[in-house]
Structure 1
Amino acid sequence: MTLMIFLTIILFLAAIEISIPFLVKRDVVFGVSIPEGHIKDAKLASYKRRYSLSIFFISVASIAFYLLWINHDNPVEELIVLYGTAIQLGIIFLSMALYFYFHAKTMKRKKEQKWGENFKKVKMADLAIRSQDEMLPWYLFVLPMAVTVGLIAYTAVQYRILPEQIPFHWGADGMPDSFKAKNPFSVNVLPIILFIMQLLFLGINEATKRSGIKLSVANTEASRIRQLALRKYSSWFMFMTSTLITMLFSFLQLTTIHEGLVGSVVMFAVPFIFLLIILIGTAVFAIKVGTAGEHTETHPVEGISDFDDDLYWRAGIFYFNKNDPSIFVEKRFGVGWTINLANPIGYLIIFGPLVIIFLIAFLA
């Protein structure tokens, strides 16, 4: 069962990393903005292929050796977890190393070829596009919070029947493997952490809703479709994730209150199904956004190009722009959002809840 979980995660991680160069915006290659007329440059296309093929072959080899080792040595579960985690970290490290390598090569090629230097740089805004925004309203994210409040109330009512040792951590098989002594705080750690996570999703949704919608002057219609798709599907994905986490945490809390409520098979199946739905949802989100507007006909305007904001992107990953009021902006490598590091509100939204969760886990 543990092997199944780790293989699922490794395969999904490898597939996402392999696909990333082909899911980002057409005019951004390895974190570098590319003028419309050079998007189909053969060198850039070869960089993307080399990146993806390198991760593909390394991932296949790692998985093959992982399975052969398990079949030959029949290791204990702890070692399966350890090596499975090492493979995941290895794929992430490899993808980052390759990204920085090809980011440098792309930047060098752009400078050597002097792409866009003779064009007039223009920023484009569409005041009517906000009316087409389909991000979910804030009050939908409050609904899972209401469930959590009810869960805390139910826990208080059932306090006397709770076991003296409260599960605090669950293993890969879905069974609890770490416990804390029963007290009014420890019995509510799980729903409290859940509530903070729900606040995090609400905060991110509202912050992204207020972020700027950036259109391309060279490909206005395609960028409009992509921006609207990114906002719509990221909002739905966050709501789906918040709802699924609420269901999972509620399930774990109820099995703590009512010992023996379900069997070991269900205890394993529920977290595994949760993982599968999250992974499938992530893949659908990435594909929906990554392919939005791809087949739209372009009508580039002679002599002008989009404003080159490469100077605001450190290594094409970290965005730092004091002049941009947006808290979150679209990633340059990957699908989704990243923080504007020059806006302190972003730190508060992301790291504030995480610090509180770590403090709760420490105090418990």
Structure 2
Amino acid sequence: MIIPIILLVIVILSAVLSIYFSQSKPRNGIWFGVSLPKKALKDKRLGQLQSQYRRTYYIFAACILIAALPLLLLANLPLLTYLYLLFWTAGALYAPAILFRRYHYLATRLKHEKEWFGESKREISIEPEIQRLAAMKPISSYWFLLPALISCALLLVAAVGSEGPLRLAGLASLIMTGVMFLLYRIFSKGKSQPEGGSGPSSALHNAARRYWSVMWVALAIFEAINAFIAYAVLRDGLSVDFSIWVGGILMVSLIPLAVIIAVHNKIRGLEYRYAHTDGKRYFNDDDEYWRYGMVYYNPDDQALLVPKRVGIGSTVNMASQRGKLFFYGSVPLIAAILLPVMLMLAHNDAVSPSLVINENRTVSIVNTKYSYTFSLDDMLDVTLEEQLPSGFRSNGIATSVYARGNFSLNELGDSKLYVFKKSPPFIVIKLPDLHVIFNEEEAAATTELYERLAALKKLPSE
């Protein structure tokens, strides 16, 4: 498993670096995602940006490689490896984009200072938008009464209808609401700036306070509702399914994280667009349609796909309905692919298959998606082997630790495997049309089970 992980890390990192290092020099009049005339390409300040840009991405490459090292240590823990690789990949894709935004912003600012515009230069009015932002105020703190009431209701329900740690569910929810309220106060502190009082800076200040306040209230409500759901699940005894725990952990951690990142990006986007203007207008050209030099947003263009400025291929027009549907529709599709895989790995890591000998002389392998039952009378042979035959997976799951499901083995043909790869010996059961290979994680338990099977096996007639 280590070699595929190393190859995957190399492929992802190579692809990312090739995309962003291509922006370290002008191409077709585009530099740092900014369109520039030929006379600007030799400017010394752009040359300085180029040097800084390259150093930044060299440092990024070193850091992201160091961040990949724990994958080598987690190779025997499939679920943790999968989760860490998922987060590492997200970081490898997201972090360089954030770095690129800074240099795109600096190049754009320099372009405006030098007035490096082509024939498409036009004046863009922003006064109505600035006035709208300046009028924003933080959402009322009274909204926190809603999650507080939900938490108090849970506190009462848990105190009456449960025992042990579950009694603390309501209290934990109430404490979390208090934490969110404290964060709300921190991010909303300071007086609102009067409309038009200090130009775009006051408008951005008011807008930031509004967005952060709404976010903390929304997260408080989300956490309170989630606590109620978690309590209901645990009270009904469903906690034995480890995949439910994983799904819950992902929901209460990834969703708030995604919301925080989205709000942060929203505020940074406003700062990028308005912070260095006079609050009434600014000049731009076709760069107006490229947010951060990477995201195409042109409501006057009905095209779904346009050539990328950064990287190769095409990108969607996020201002069109089809573009939004194409982009945001891919999010649940990706989640629908990744989440079942994580839940399956969680289940396989937490629950091992069991071989049960029934009273009616049948053997059942349970606690696995690939359960199987056969008769003791159908066993042609049963042996205890120290080596696991090599082969290929046809329908199952195989990690560096275990293999479960349907396999085609070089020496035995069609087989069903339920084994811990690094925990010999292995019980090999020969049936008329396939082989079943099973073992426990402890060698002594495997040997004991083999002796029971051998004793019960019906010897073939002479």
Please give the TM-score of this superposition, normalised by the length of structure 2. 0.35
Q: Which has the higher contact order (CA 8 A, sep 6+)?
A: 1
Where is the helix percentage greater, Structure 1 or Structure 2?
A: 1
Which structure's CA Rg is the greater one?
2
Please give the TM-score of this superposition, normalised by the length of structure 1. 0.43
Where is the strand percentage greater, Structure 1 or Structure 2?
A: 2
